[in-house]
Structure 1
C-alpha cells in the first residue's frame, strides 16, 4: 500500500499485511516525524463493522490508537517499515568488520539501504518485518555448523513466491566463486569466494543482472495473467 505524509509529502510503501483491518492506524513519518493516518478499505462482505481485537505483535511497526502517538514508530529500530518508492534493501550477514565496511560501501553505491545484524537471531527478527531485495550471508556467520546456517535454512523454507524476489549471495571460503552446482545445492543465487572480495562489486552486479533477466519473462507472464 502506498501512503503519503500530509506534512512533508514523502511517499512510502508499507506491506498490506502489516495494516490492521477495520480500524484507523496512526503512524509517525520516519522523515518529518509528523502523524500519518491510515484507514484500510473495509473487507466485511455484509458491510457491517467488525469487532476486531488489537494484536500489535503481528505487525512490523507499533500501532498507535491514541491521539498523542509520540511513540508509535521507531524509525531507528525498524528502518524498513517504510520504504521510499523504488527503494532497494539489503541484509548483510558478515562478522569481519573490514569486509562489512567494504561491502556496505559497494551496496550503498548500488543504492541499497543496508542492514547489518550482529547475529542470526537479530537477522531472523529483521526478516520477519521486511522482505529484502538482497541478502548476503557468510556461511560462517554466527554458526559452528557451516551446513546448517540458520539464515540460509530460513530462506530455503520461504514460500517460493517470496523467495524468487530475493537475490541471495553466499560468501564462502570452501567453494569457488560462481559455482552453480553448489549454489543450487545451497538454495542460493550465487557463491562468492572470500578470496574474490576485491571483485565483490563486479561479481555481485553481474549476478543480479543475470537474475533479473532470468525472471523478467516469467514475471511479465504472471503479471499479464493477473497473478502477480
Structure 2
C-alpha cells in the first residue's frame, strides 16, 4: 500500500499483509512527524496465521488495542527506495560485525530482543533482508520461532525476502543446508568477519537464480 503524508506529501510504502486486519494503524511520518491513520486492508476470508503458533504468540498488549502506533519504530515504513533489514542476533560481538556491513549497504536496520518482538515487527513490515541466528531466543535451533515463521510464509511474500542464517553447526554457503532450512544463505560464526563479502556473493547468486523466474512474470 502506498501512503501519502497529508502534511508534507512524502510518499511511503507498507505491505498490505503487514497492516492490522481489523483495526486502523497509526503511523508517524518519519519526516515531519505528522500522525497518519491507515484503514485496515480488505480482509481475505481464506487468510490465516501459520499453523503451529499459538494465537497468544501473535497477540498484542492491551494498550495497543486502539491500533498500531509506530512512533517508536521509525523504520516500520520507509521511503519507496529505502531498503530494510531485520537483525535477530543476541551476541553483541556478532552484531558489532554485522551492523556496519548493513549500514554500508544502506539498510535501515531494526533490531529485536526476542522472537515475539521479531514476529510482531514482521507482521507490519516486509523486510528486504533478515539476518537471524539459529539460536536466537531458542535453546533448540530446530524450534527457532523466526525461522519457522519465515518457512511458513506465503511464497509470494517469502521470495522477496533474503534470509541469512547465522550458525555454529554448518559451513558457510552450504546450499543444501540453506535449502533444508528454507533460508537463502548460511553463514558460520567463524566467518562472520567476512560477512560483507559473503552477503554480497549470496545476494548476487540469489538474484541470478530468481532472474529467469522474474522475467517470466514480466
Q: TM-score, normalised by structure 2?
A: 0.78
1:88/1:113 contact within 8 Å kept = yes
SS at match of 2:196: helix
Pairing 1:75–2:71 present = yes
Distance in 2, Cα, partners of 1:83 & 1:213: 26
The structure with the larger Rg is: 1
Superposition pairs of residues 85-124 of structure 1, within 5 angstroms:
85-124=80-119
1:143 to 138, 142, 167: 138
Pairing 1:33–2:33 present = yes
Match of 2:12 in 1: 12
Pairing 1:2–2:5 present = no
Q: Deviations over 1:70-121 (max 9, x none)?
A: xx84322x43442201111111111111211221111011011111111111
Superposition pairs of residues 56-205 of structure 1, within 5 angstroms:
73-76=69-72, 78-205=73-200
2:128/2:160 contact within 8 Å kept = yes
Distance in 2, Cα, partners of 1:38 & 1:94: 31
Aligned CA RMSD, in angstroms, stands at: 2.9
CA gap 1:118/1:26 in 2 versus in 1, 3 angstroms: closer
Q: CA deviation at 1:38?
A: 6.3
Distance in 2, Cα, partners of 1:20 & 1:158: 17
Q: Deviations over 1:166-203 (max 9, x none)?
A: 11111111111011111111111111011111100000
Q: CA deviation at 1:141?
A: 1.2
Q: Deviations over 1:36-58 (max 9, x none)?
A: 4668999xxxxxxxxxxxxxx8x
Match of 1:45 in 2: none
Note the residue ranges of structure 1 that are not aligned, 5 or more in a row. Answer: 43-56, 65-71
Note the residue ranges of structure 2 that are not aligned, 5 or more in a row. Answer: 43-59
Q: TM-score, normalised by structure 1?
A: 0.75
Q: How many residues align?
A: 197
Q: CA deviation at 1:16?
A: 3.6
2:12/2:79 contact within 8 Å kept = yes
Match of 2:56 in 1: none
Q: Which has the higher contact order (CA 8 A, sep 6+)?
A: 2
